[in-house]
C-alpha cells in the first residue's frame, strides 16, 4: 500500500524576500522583484535587468569559514532548507536521520565559482585554482551540503534537468516517501546564475527581455507584448513527510502531494514541442497519478516564462490536457514577479501552490495589459483572487525537452 505524502514546512530565499512569509505576501500584493543588475557592470549587455536576491547574509545560516568554500547557490539552498525544517518543526537526530533524505535540484550549479576560477586560471595559472573549486561548482552540492548541514542521512540525490530540476526533485522525493523508502524529504531547488557569462549566453540566444527602462514591467507571461524572460535567483524548499509520520509527531499539514508526471518532448534543445504535446503528456500523467479528473483542477501555477514559444505552447498544452475545463481554471505565472529562477523555479512555485491551498487564494500574473489571441485562458490578471482552491497543478518545462508536473491537494483526513 502506498503512503500518503503531505507538505509540512516551507523555506525560501527569493527576489521578493528571504523567507517564505515575506515571499508569499509579496506575491499576493503583486510586487515585482525585478530591477537593474547590480552583480556586475552591464554596459555592454543588451539585457541589463534581473530579479536578484537582496540583503542575503549567508553567515546567518553557515559558518564564516564555510561561506568561503560554498557557491551562492549552495548558500541559498542551505538557508532555505534550514528554514523549511524549522517551519515544519522537524527534529533530525541520530534516531531518525537515516529515514530523512534530501533531494535538491539545480539547473546550472556553481556557475559563479566556475567563472571566477576560470578567470584565475587564465590570469594566474593552474596552481592558483582553489582546491575547493570542484565541490563548490558541481550541481549536486546543494543537496549534499544541505544533508551535511541538517544531518539527514536518508536518500540523497539531485535532479539536473534545466528549468524542471526542482519540480523533478520534488516529484522524485514524493515517490521515495510514497514507496516507503523514507519518512521525510527536504526537497526543492536552488540557483544563482545571474553572472556575466549566463546573461550573455541567454541574451545572445534572444531569450531575455530587454525592457531595461521598465524593469518591474519586463516579465509579462501570456501577454501580447512579452519579449523574453527575466533571470532570477534563489531557492525554494519544502518538507515532505508520510502522513503517518507527520501525524505521529503532531505536525501542521499544509497540503497533500498526490500526483507527479514527467515526459520528454524529444524535439528540440530549447523550443517546446509543437502544440505543447510533451507538456500535455506530463500533465495527463500527473492527473492520472493523482487519481483526480481534469475538471477537479482549481488552479495551475504555470511555467509561464514570458517567452513567445513557451507561453503559447503551454496554453495549448493546458487545453490538450484539460479540454473544455481549461477555460474555467485559474492560471497564473508567478514568474511575472520573481523572474525565472531556472532550476529553482519549481521550488518556489511549489511553495506558492501549497500556500494557495492553505490560504484559499491564488497569486496573480502581473503586467498583464494586452491579451494575446493565442493565449486566451484565465491568467488571473494583475490581482490575487480569493477562491475555492482544492487541487493545484504546478508545471515546469526545461531546455532539452524536460517536462514535469506536480499535483497538490487540499488536505482532508
The residues annotated as belonging to the active site are 163, 303, 340
Helix (H) or strand (E) holding 173: helix 165-178
The CA distance from 14 to 266, in Å, is: 32
- The answer to whether residues 337 and 366 touch, using CB atoms and an 8 Å cutoff, is yes
The CA distance from 374 to 8, in Å, is: 38
From residue 164, give the alpha-carbon distance in Å to each of 260, 279, 379, 394: 13, 11, 21, 11
The CA distance from 96 to 88, in Å, is: 15
From residue 94, give the alpha-carbon distance in Å to each of 23, 150, 166, 242, 395: 33, 11, 28, 19, 36
Strands (E), 215-326: 234-242, 255-264, 299-301
DSSP letter, residue 140: T
Dig out the grid coordinates for 24 from the structure: 508569499
Of 244, 237, 245, 255, the residue nearest 86 (C-alpha): 237
Helices (H), 292-403: 308-322, 335-338, 345-359
DSSP letter, residue 14: B
Neighbours of 133 (CB within 10 A): 18
Residues paired with 191 in a beta bridge = 234
- The answer to whether residues 265 and 372 touch, using CB atoms and an 8 Å cutoff, is no
The CA distance from 204 to 258, in Å, is: 40
CA 338 to chain centre: 10
Of 302, 366, 308, 380, the residue nearest 337 (C-alpha): 366
Amino acid at each position: 500500500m502506498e503512503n500518503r505524502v503531505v507538505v509540512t514546512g516551507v523555506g525560501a530565499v527569493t527576489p521578493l524576500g528571504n523567507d517564505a512569509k515575506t515571499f508569499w505576501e509579496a506575491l499576493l500584493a503583486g510586487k515585482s522583484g525585478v530591477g537593474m543588475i547590480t552583480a556586475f557592470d552591464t554596459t555592454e549587455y543588451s539585457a541589463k535587468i534581473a530579479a536578484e536576491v537582496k540583503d542575503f547574509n549567508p553567515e546567518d545560516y553557515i559558518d564564516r569559514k564555510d561561506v568561503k568554500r560554498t557557491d551562492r547557490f549552495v548558500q541559498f539552498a542551505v538557508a532555505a532548507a534550514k528554514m523549511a525544517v524549522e517551519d515544519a518543526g522537524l527534529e533530525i537526530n541520530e534516531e531518525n536521520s537515516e529515514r530523512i533524505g534530501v533531494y535538491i535540484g539545480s539547473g546550472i550549479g556553481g556557475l559563479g565559482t566556475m567563472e571566477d576560477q576560470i578567470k584565475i586560471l587564465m590570469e594566474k595559472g593552474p596552481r592558483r585554482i582553489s582546491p575547493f573549486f570542484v565541490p563548490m561548482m558541481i550541481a549536486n552540492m546543494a543537496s549534499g551540503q544541505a544533508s551535511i548541514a541538517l544531518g539527514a542521512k536518508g536518500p540523497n540525490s539531485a535532479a539536473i534537468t534545466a528549468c524542471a530540476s526542482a519540480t523533478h526533485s520534488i516529484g522524485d522525493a514524493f515517490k521515495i516517501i510514497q514507496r516507503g523508502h523514507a519518512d521525510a524529504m527536504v526537497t526543492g531547488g536552488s540557483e544563482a546564475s545571474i553572472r556575466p557569462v549566463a546573461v550573455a549566453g541567454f541574451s545572445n540566444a534572444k531569450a531575455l527581455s530587454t525592457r531595461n527602462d521598465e524593469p518591474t514591467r519586463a516579465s509579462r507571461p501570456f501577454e501580447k507584448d512579452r519579449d523574453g524572460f527575466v533571470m532570477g535567483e534563489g531557492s525554494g524548499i519544502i518538507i515532505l513527510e508520510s502522513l503517518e509520520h507527520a501525524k505521529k509527531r503532531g505536525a501542521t499539514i499544509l497540503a497533500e502531494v498526490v500526483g507527479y508526471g514527467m515526459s520528454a518532448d524529444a524535439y528540440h534543445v530549447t523550443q517546446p514541442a509543437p502544440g505543447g504535446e510533451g507538456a500535455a503528456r506530463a500533465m495527463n500523467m500527473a492527473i492520472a497519478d493523482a487519481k483526480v479528473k481534469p475538471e477537479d483542477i482549481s488552479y495551475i501555477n504555470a511555467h509561464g516564462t514570458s517567452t513567445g514559444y513557451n507561453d503559447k505552447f503551454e496554453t495549448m498544452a493546458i487545453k490538450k490536457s484539460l479540454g473544455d475545463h481549461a477555460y474555467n481554471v485559474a492560471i497564473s505565472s508567478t514568474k511575472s514577479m520573481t523572474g525565472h529562477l531556472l532550476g529553482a523555479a519549481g521550488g518556489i512555485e511549489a511553495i506558492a501552490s501549497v500556500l494557495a491551498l492553505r490560504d484559499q487564494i491564488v497569486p496573480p500574473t502581473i503586467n498583464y495589459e494586452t491579451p494575446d489571441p493565442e493565449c486566451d485562458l484565465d491568467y488571473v490578471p494583475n490581482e490575487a483572487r480569493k477562491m475555492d482552491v482544492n487541487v493545484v497543478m504546478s508545471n515546469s518545462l526545461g531546455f532539452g525537452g524536460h517536462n514535469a508536473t506536480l499535483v497538490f491537494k487540499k488536505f482532508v483526513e
